[in-house]
Structure 1
Amino acid sequence: DMLGLSITGHVPKFVKNFMAGQDSIHAALSAYVSEVKNVTFPSVEHGFSA
């Protein structure tokens, strides 16, 4: 998921790990909120296509 917390180890290719490079869950969630507000997330690479 967006925090890199996967029980099975499987992460869909369209999921962005916001925890990468962050030192806390709070920082990761802040990065997510910032990217959504700035319309930089989701990008094409984080979309789902069949």
Structure 2
Amino acid sequence: MIDVDYDPDEKTRYECFNCGTVVRTTNQPTCPDCHTEMRNRKISLE
């Protein structure tokens, strides 16, 4: 396992479950287009 330095100010890509919109932010957003939940693209769906 590789240690990764955690940077709380690093922007992460989030993708909308509903419409596919992608945004970069530092916190868990809701979709700006359809206002539904978004997922962190760094975390696998499996």
- Category of TM-score, reference length = shorter chain: under 0.3
TM (normalized to structure 2)? 0.22
- Structure with a larger share of its residues in strand: 2
